Structure 1
Amino acid sequence: MYITVLQDNKETLGDLYNYKFKYFLSENDKDKVNEKPKLDIQVDIGNLPISISGSEANAVLEPKGHSSSSASQKSFKVTLDEKSGKWKGQKIINLSKSPYDMSRIRNKLAFDLFKTIPNMFSLRTQFFHLYIKDLSGSSKQFIDYGLFTQVEQPNETYIKNHGLAQQGYLYKAEFFEFNRDDERIKNVDDPSYNKIEFEKVLKIRGIEDHSLLIGMLDDVNNYSLNINDVIKKHFDRENYLTWLAVNILTGNWDTNSQNFLLFSPITAERWYFIPWDYDGAFGYESQPHEQELYAPWQTQPLSNYWGVKLHKRFISDSNNLKDLTQELEEVSKYMSEEKVKSLVSKYYSQTSSIIKTLPDLNFIPSTLENYEKEIKRLPSVIETNKKRFYENIDTPMPIFLGIPEVQGNKTVFKWEESYDLKGNDLFYNFSLSTDPDFKNVVFNKDSLKDMTITVENLAKGKYYWKVDIYNSKNKHQIAFDLYHIVSGKSYYGEKELIIN
């Protein structure tokens, strides 16, 4: 693919590279909504049905991605204009760099596997070798930008192209945990409806009428309703089970609040999960440069979903857990080690020569030796994650620590009750220290049955506290909480407390 950035742009390719997505905008920034640089370009894909002449633009280029927007190598979104026609039925061409994926093939591997799995949606993908000529800067020649993976845009065009519906409700999760969130999730006829606020939770890609979504969220958050009745009314159960099983087996842990879409045909009133972004799957967390960046519970398949209301309620039902286990075994047949190995070998032959040369060679997150090891490791990951699932069934679920209450010379600590999927007895070990490494413990109490403890006569100063959970089989769990220090180190399962 060849892209020419035209000379008369108000912004430059350099502006695009300086852009960084902001997750939580301040009050002063709320109207900016992560404004992205947009550049008029000429794009030549070889089989695009348009003849390019002179300085006429045929598309717009902008940065793509959230966390990846901070990477040195950027991902792009190309939007073809009306006179350009469509490329393979698509007006939007996503070019994902996957800068933190050492193999650079995880996204394509995932979506090609999904094509064969019943009750699972997939997206079309293709590798591209990209060249860019930047007439807005000093470059007058095409420069090699290396390997990219094109990933189909799931939007209204996607729904029509795949014969799913002529119209539908479609949302992309931005930070969405199936909470009611009635301050942001409102219908368009509500006088206080704010699309900017709404889209901080869910990006609207279909019909802008949220009554169906709100009805589903009301029921998910209504604990007087049986969760199985809620699932039957609002979701396609087989698709939901398959989506959960696929994410567990691929190890796509970053799917509890983002990296998925919700879709409902206008005639069905039933929600389906559509997958999105799998360059963080297939053992991503075990790459040499990524280790220690995850809390223990994040790589435990069931614990990872425990903080999401829908998944927590569903998994808590023993029959649902049994169904999920059966689905996991069935789906794993479509992602056998032999099948994955065959696809990885195919992709390696297509991409390795690009990755091993400039510019990509300079940006591999580790060494070439580790790159080769990573390629060989990928086929074994599915079985590793299946073992994690079965181990997690025997493990207590994570909790959230409460806010301590100071009552005179007493400090009362509270925490949530944990849950054991097999009904084993649970115990809590409480520890209080003056340092986050817990080398100087000033108080501890083990084998607590209650979710509270009172500590007396704490001197003024800074403290750190944690609760370790054990069941009667001596399986261990920590809290969801995180204490992060300025130097960058993270302490999982603990909170800071300041006594004045």
Structure 2
Amino acid sequence: MDEAAKLPNYKLFIKPSDLKELRRDIWVDMPIPAQLNIDGKRLEVDVSYRGSHIRDFSKKSYYVSFYKPKKFKGSSEIHINAEYKDPSLIRNKLSFDFFSQIGVLAPYSQHVFLTLNGKPEGIYLEIESVDENFLRRRNLPAGSIYYAIDGDANFSLMSDLDKAVKKSLKSGYEKKFGKASEDKFLERFIYNINTIPRSEFERGIIKYIDVEKYLRWIAGIIFTSNYDGFVHNYSLYRNGETGLFEVMPWDYDATWGRDVNGKMMEADYVPLQGYNTLTARILDVDSFRKQYQKLLVEIMNQQFTLEFMVPRVEKLLGIIRPYVLQDPYKKDSITQFDQELRVITEYILERRKYIQSEIVKLN
């Protein structure tokens, strides 16, 4: 239990009448008032359910915004994810940490143990909100942040949802932070991705996106195998100083060998070439494709190895295991939890084989 003590204890208190209202319609985003006690500090907060299909699960995920005080540890809001379909409960955090390790901006996350009105709700993953506080915490220039909210965030002029021309260049995005004037930069970016002539693309696209960082983000998707990562599960940040866009990961529980339903996923399921328009155009440029190939080799040799990853997996699993036994939704699945080190290890081995076999095709 010594290791488990490292998990912060989050105690959520909601009036029975408000809790009844919250549960009345799980699809309503209207928050209800609550108190959140974090390691002895009492905070007044607003709480609502979060996510799309995950709201149907018995173990709910929460969006928490701080009301009094307005900020806690530099954040005005946090996400508390149930990680319900991930038998290991660590894939999201493992992925965010991996992205950071390969040089991609990613939200901070930590496991916590949540109780609701005194009743254990189990292990959750607290995830930092990607907003102005995210930028401030990292001393990054202000600019704008957009969330990719559906498949139309595919960097194309064509809708991924109805296969027609998009009604707006902002389709698929929701602005989280930034002035109204920032929208024109996003629209110009999407338009130019699709209209810069092939002969001018190498010189033209670098005016809009940091290609090096974009390739690192793509590499992160490839190594973790996040199927939806190319057109969803990300946020877009425009650096106000450089004027260039960067991409950050979000929602990476369906990774490291398991899909969105927690089922085993084949190691060759996600191709190296990706799925979206911007990736296709960037990898069509010889110099960018060689840069990408070199980057994949570099990460294969440094971070995506058993020597690098297994100790990190073991540490995360070891820290939360005592609390899995106290999680009312997961304690009966402890046998499966104990097999997840093997599942992730085998995924890394098989994914390495696949990438090594495919990487020559980038020549």
Decide: shared fold, TM above 0.5.
yes
Residue matched to 1:60: 46
Letter in 1 for 2:298: E
Picking from 118, 134, 143, the partner of 1:168 is 143
Any conservation in 2 of the 1:11–1:39 contact (CA below 8 Å)? no
Q: Distance in 2 between matches of 1:380 and 1:329?
A: 19
**Matching of residue 329 in structure 1 with residue 338 in structure 2:** no
Where does structure 1 lack aligned partners over 5 or more consecutive residues?
21-34, 53-57, 134-141, 187-197, 396-420, 423-500
Residue matched to 2:12: 3
Any conservation in 1 of the 2:234–2:250 contact (CA below 8 Å)? yes
Picking from 252, 267, 278, the partner of 2:252 is 278
Deviations 1:418-442 (A, max 9, x none): xxx67xxxxxxxxxxxxxxxxxxxx
Deviations 1:206-238 (A, max 9, x none): 223311111111111115243322331111121
| Higher RCO structure (Cα 8 Å, ≥6 apart) | 2
Over 3 Å counting, the alpha-carbon distance change for 1:341 and 1:286 in structure 2 is farther
Equivalent runs, 1:212-361 vs 2, <5 Å: 212-222=185-195, 224-225=197-198, 226-285=200-259, 290-291=263-264, 299-302=269-272, 305-306=274-275, 308-332=276-300, 333-361=302-330
Q: CA RMSD in A?
A: 2.7
What is the number of residues matched between the two proteins? 342
Over 3 Å counting, the alpha-carbon distance change for 1:156 and 1:184 in structure 2 is farther
**Matching of residue 389 in structure 1 with residue 359 in structure 2:** no
Q: Distance in 1 between matches of 2:70 and 2:79?
A: 16
Residue matched to 1:73: 59
Give secondary structure in 2 for the equivalent of 1:12. helix
Q: CA deviation at 1:132?
A: 0.5
- Which structure has the greater CA radius of gyration? 1
Q: CA deviation at 1:7?
A: 4.5
Letter in 1 for 2:351: N
Deviations 1:104-129 (A, max 9, x none): 011111222333333x1122111110
Q: Distance in 2 between matches of 1:75 and 1:375?
A: 25
Where does structure 2 lack aligned partners over 5 or more consecutive residues?
1-9, 159-164
Residue matched to 2:34: 41
Q: Distance in 2 between matches of 1:281 and 1:342?
A: 18
Over 3 Å counting, the alpha-carbon distance change for 1:358 and 1:262 in structure 2 is closer
Over 3 Å counting, the alpha-carbon distance change for 1:164 and 1:291 in structure 2 is same
Letter in 2 for 1:178: F
Residue matched to 1:206: 177
Picking from 10, 15, 19, the partner of 2:26 is 19
Q: Distance in 2 between matches of 1:216 and 1:383?
A: 38
Give secondary structure in 2 for the equivalent of 1:371. helix
Q: CA deviation at 1:356?
A: 3.0
Q: Distance in 1 between matches of 2:201 and 2:86?
A: 37
Residue matched to 2:101: 116
Q: Which has the higher helix share?
A: 2
Any conservation in 2 of the 1:127–1:149 contact (CA below 8 Å)? yes
Q: CA deviation at 1:264?
A: 0.9
Over 3 Å counting, the alpha-carbon distance change for 1:291 and 1:101 in structure 2 is same
Q: Distance in 1 between matches of 2:346 and 2:296?
A: 16
Q: CA deviation at 1:282?
A: 1.0
Letter in 2 for 1:148: Y
Letter in 1 for 2:258: Y
Letter in 2 for 1:180: L
Any conservation in 2 of the 1:170–1:261 contact (CA below 8 Å)? yes
Q: CA deviation at 1:243?
A: 0.7
Any conservation in 2 of the 1:130–1:144 contact (CA below 8 Å)? yes
Q: CA deviation at 1:320?
A: 2.7
Over 3 Å counting, the alpha-carbon distance change for 1:217 and 1:361 in structure 2 is closer
Q: CA deviation at 1:324?
A: 1.1
Letter in 1 for 2:89: R
